[in-house]
Amino acid sequence: MTLNLCVLTPNRMVWDSEVKAIILPTNSGQIGVLPNHAPLATAVDIGILKIMRLNNQWLTMTLMGGFARIGNNKITILVNDAEKSSDIDPQEAQQTLEIAEANLRKAEGKRQTIEANLALRRARTQVEAVNTI
């Protein structure tokens, strides 16, 4: 038995295929989803989606926050942005992380600090995704 996984951003469809299982980063922690999972709607956190493909190989993808709906062996994930780990340039991800860390250090005021923290979480997720390939 399989699951139909669809990952969408506002601009494109990132993934639409049958999978064996996923591990989804939610705002309350990671959840594993196998066939016949109970129906669920949940917020998706910034983090790494782990996908077990039909050939039993794992694929990772960064998710940048959104929502997921699970039911009837279908998973629809709507996120602000998503990227397969294999499409991330490791050097660019590391540079983005360093810039985000510097921006957080020099942030002034609550708004700049919140924005810098968000950018840092996104950059760390990309670096982590590259390192889990």
How many of the other CB atoms lie within 10 Å of CB of 3?
Answer: 22
Say yes or no: 13 and 63 in one domain.
Answer: yes
Query: How many separate domains does the chain show?
Result: 2
CA 70 to mean position of chain CA atoms: 16
pLDDT at 132 over 80: no
Question: What's the mean pLDDT in 94-112?
Answer: 93
The confidence score (pLDDT) of residue 131 equals 85
| N-to-C CA span, the chain | 26
Model confidence over 3-58: pLDDT tens digits? 999 999 999 999 999 999 999 999 999 999 999 999 999 999 999 999 999 999 99
Instruction: Give pLDDT tens digits for 53-90.
Output: 999 999 999 999 999 999 999 999 999 999 999 899 99
Q: Give the pLDDT confidence score for residue 26 in this predicted structure.
A: 96
3-state secondary structure of 96: helix
Same domain membership, residue 73 and residue 10: yes
Whether residue 33 is found in the same domain as residue 57: yes
Q: What pTM did the predictor assign? A: 0.89
Range of the domain at 97: 88-131
Both 66 and 8 in a single domain?
yes
**CA–CA distance from 118 to each of 55, 75, 133 (Å)?**
35, 26, 23
Element (H, E) at 110: helix 109-131
Residue 133: pLDDT band with limits 50, 70, 90: low
Task: Tell whether 8 and 22 lie within a shared domain.
Answer: yes
The CATH number given to whatever domain includes residue 51 is 2.60.15.10
CA dist., res. 67 & res. 41, Å (int): 7
